[in-house]
Amino acid sequence: MDHKIFKVNHLHFYFKISYINNTLHELTFSDRKNDLINPQLSLKINEGKPSKFAKDIQNQLDRYFRGKLKKFDIPLNVNGSDFTKSVLKEIGKIPYGKTKSYKEVAEKIKKPKAARAVGRASGANRIPIIIPCHRVVGSSGELVGYSGGGGLLFKSYLQLLEKK
């Protein structure tokens, strides 16, 4: 697995991508670069010349945070049970700037009583932002849970970014 840590222009967060053969497996981020480096593992972090694939992800994230990209075009490897995959696939269909409740996602995947399980599956999302779990909210529109770095504050930021 290849890894790349980078910073998106004008944003105070570092991003780490993990990918194999031009397929994204994981995206993590933090306001501190050292949080993304696991001292127990000797990872080969691609700090030098990035692959075309890594550079493309960096460019798409940069364009997204500048409000110039509304839909990512990145091959993904989504792990998990069939249920988790169906939830994340449905979350991926939520349009830029819109939100759906966990209950609405559960109904879309034909599991109307599984809103809490949808929340757990969303929380297991290893590719936040690109699989836009920040677009999923509680039944009354409140912000609840976020699998990406920065917690609910960052989830709120992403929603506000998309409303501009």
Residue 133 annotated among the catalytic residues of the structure: yes
Q: 């994204």: which residue's tokens?
A: 24
- Walk along the chain (164 residues) in steps of 10 and give the mean pLDDT of each run: 86 90 94 78 54 94 95 96 97 97 98 96 94 93 75 89 90
Residue closest to 102 by CA, chosen among 151, 146, 164: 146
Q: Quick one: how far is CA 3 from the chain centroid?
A: 16
CB contact at 8 A, 36 and 30: yes
Write the CA distances from 144 to 13, 65, 99, 148, 157, integer angstroms: 22, 22, 12, 12, 14
- Candidate list 24, 74, 114, 133, residue with the active-site label: 133
- What is the predicted pLDDT for the residue at 32? 86
- What is the predicted pLDDT for the residue at 41? 54
